[in-house]
Structure 1
Amino acid sequence: MSDVINKKRKSNPPSAPFRRSKVVLLGDSITQLSFSAKLSGWGTYIADVYQRRCDVFNRGMSGYNTDWYLQYLSTEEGKYDVFDSLTNNGVEDGVSDVKLVTIFFGANDQSCEKLNRRHHVPLPKFQSNLKEIVNLCRENYGEKVRIVLITPPPVHHDSRLKYQVDRYGDKATGELERNMELASQYSEAVKAVAKELGYPCLNIYQSMQDSEPGAGEKWSKYLSDGLHLSAEGNIFVGKELKKLIDEVYPEITINPCPYTELTGNWGNSATKGGEAFGSEKGMGPWHDEIDHTEAEKSFQEHTNKKMKTA
């Protein structure tokens, strides 16, 4: 009986207005760690913003560069994990349930070829890899999928050297396999790819430094070890990404209620979602829209509104 039910569900998926939208995060450890509660991860920030309207899927792979990520995507496991499992309702007219994809690489690719040949990906190859990842997203999530490319963050030299000593002790080399010059080059490479392909770029390499100008490199507070994001850094990236979405993709933004800053809650009946969600109110009627004396009628009215926006 269960097999019959499952087959029926697969052959008759709910129509678009009744499916929860999706946001997918692709990247390396900075993305994988974006779900860290301990670090107030930027992925959790976005999941908080999109609660009840979008499910956020983290597909960050710690230690991966773009070469290895593409290799993963070429395997049966990787293709299913990153694409097929998230588009089981298919793509129609270039649109799927995936509303937004973030592509956040460079922290490993930028490694110095001499000091860390294992992770190093030359700049031209890095850019071609980013383009291939974008193309795969368009092929699998639909050509109309919204994409944001994110640059690697700046590298704080003193913190990286301290991290070396803390981790390796006497075996610390005292040489920086990742540095500001390389971070700048790879950030510019991400910007160039975004511009060429016509997608927005979140340049956290620059915005982090601009947010804390002056002497002392105060922007280092955004990094936990000179490379990865601290809790402050994760919140910074989450807020900057939300701000960028507001500017370039208003149809998938969330407008907070007047009390959001007071309550910190993005998921109540006073919030509104963009038109791309099928309903500005999200999934199911909010509790204060339900008449307890005629609950069935309230749910039917909600359904009717969704049908009208489809």
Structure 2
Amino acid sequence: MALNYEKFLLFGDSITEFAFNSRMNDDGKDQFTLGAALANAYTRKLDVIQRGFGGYTSRWALKLLPKILEQEKNVAISTIFFGSNDSCQHEHQNVPLPEFKTNNIKLIQMLKSQGVKVVLVGPALYDYDRCHPSNTEEIDQGYIRSNEFYEKYSEAAEEVAKEEGVAFVNLHEAFKRQGDMWPELLCDGLHFTGAGYELMFNELMAAIKEHYPQYLPENVEYKLPNWRLIEPDGSNLDSFL
């Protein structure tokens, strides 16, 4: 059916949850958003479905994904983006590296079993100096993040992606490539600014181009013909439906 849209699922933690937030900074100005950029790129091609859960880990994601897939049929391609919380050194959130890898393998295999193309995303960078002033209480309680941990979890995610033969977005390296400007990609030391999301969008498109070129926007079928090809009375529209 012409109007039966396949879906692009965004699955992850708070960075995914904020994918449509155009005002990640407090200056009241709209910025680039990952969700809107994807929805625009895939308009009349794929439906973009956002399922982001702030503070969640890959351990909890294992309980969520089956329920999501029960509700969201016809998913064609999906991101999996956890690690920022898994790597946090507090027992409430921390998921040890071996379990983190196992959890991601299980998540990938859930999606693969339904024919979904997977893009695994690793954690980016963390700016303690910017994050600490607004999160003093949590940090004092032991909710400690660091780029050392982020790098280890990013490397673990990349290993899983290679083992499972799925695409990987290495945000850790992509952020580092920005040199001294990388802190500007973060609005609070943890979450992304519009510039951070734009970088992620570009890296995501590059990964899709390399691994799943059939799902590049330009290669996905556009739903229904140009309006100029439709008869004024709509008499030929049924043939396209």
Q: Same fold (TM over 0.5)?
A: yes
Contact 2:101 2:160 survives alignment (8 Å): yes
What's 2:125 paired with?
Answer: 154
- How far did 1:176 drift? 7.1
What's 1:178 paired with?
Answer: 145
2: CA distance, partners of 1:50 / 1:172: 40
Q: Secondary structure at the match of 2:23?
A: coil
Contact 1:164 1:174 survives alignment (8 Å): no
Q: Secondary structure at the match of 1:149?
A: strand
Residue 86 (structure 1) aligned with residue 78 (structure 2): no
Distance of aligned partners of 1:109 and 1:247 in 2 relative to their CA distance in 1, 3 Å threshold: same
- Which segments of 5 or more consecutive residues in structure 1 lack a partner in the other structure? 1-14, 74-78, 88-96, 256-272, 275-279, 304-310
What's 1:30 paired with?
Answer: 15
Give the one of 207, 213, 217 matched to 2:174: 207
Q: Secondary structure at the match of 1:205?
A: helix
- How far did 1:35 drift? 2.1
* TM-superposition CA deviations, 1:120-171 (whole Å, max 9, x none): 00000000000111112223xx2x3211000011112221223335xx4xx9
What's 1:119 paired with?
Answer: 93
2: CA distance, partners of 1:131 / 1:175: 28
Contact 2:124 2:172 survives alignment (8 Å): yes
- Give matches, 1:41-60, under 5 Å: 41-60=33-52
Residue 188 (structure 1) aligned with residue 188 (structure 2): no
2: CA distance, partners of 1:247 / 1:199: 11
Residue 295 (structure 1) aligned with residue 226 (structure 2): no
- How far did 1:105 drift? 0.5
What's 1:222 paired with?
Answer: 185
Contact 1:161 1:174 survives alignment (8 Å): no
> Number of residues paired by the alignment?
234
1: CA distance, partners of 2:60 / 2:134: 25
- Give matches, 1:274-293, under 5 Å: 274=220, 280=221, 282-292=222-232
Contact 2:20 2:34 survives alignment (8 Å): yes
Give the one of 55, 68, 85 matched to 1:108: 85
- How far did 1:246 drift? 2.3
Paired letter, 1:196: E
Contact 2:126 2:147 survives alignment (8 Å): yes
Asked which structure has the greater CA Rg, the reply is 1
For the aligned residues, what is the CA RMSD?
Answer: 2.1
2: CA distance, partners of 1:106 / 1:296: 53
Q: Secondary structure at the match of 2:135?
A: helix
- How far did 1:174 drift? 10
* TM-superposition CA deviations, 1:20-41 (whole Å, max 9, x none): 1111111111111112232433
- Which segments of 5 or more consecutive residues in structure 2 lack a partner in the other structure? 25-31
Contact 2:124 2:175 survives alignment (8 Å): yes
Q: Secondary structure at the match of 1:295?
A: coil
Distance of aligned partners of 1:240 and 1:172 in 2 relative to their CA distance in 1, 3 Å threshold: closer
Give the one of 235, 256, 269 matched to 2:198: 235
Distance of aligned partners of 1:70 and 1:287 in 2 relative to their CA distance in 1, 3 Å threshold: same
1: CA distance, partners of 2:208 / 2:23: 25
- How far did 1:235 drift? 1.7
Give the one of 93, 112, 123 matched to 1:138: 112
2: CA distance, partners of 1:242 / 1:18: 24
State the identity as a percent.
Answer: 29
* TM-superposition CA deviations, 1:176-220 (whole Å, max 9, x none): 70001000000000000000000110001101111x22xxx3111
2: CA distance, partners of 1:154 / 1:241: 17
What's 1:163 paired with?
Answer: 134
2: CA distance, partners of 1:48 / 1:200: 22
Paired letter, 1:296: S
Paired letter, 1:247: E
2: CA distance, partners of 1:201 / 1:247: 10
Higher relative contact order (CA 8 A, sep 6+): 2
TM-score (norm 1): 0.70
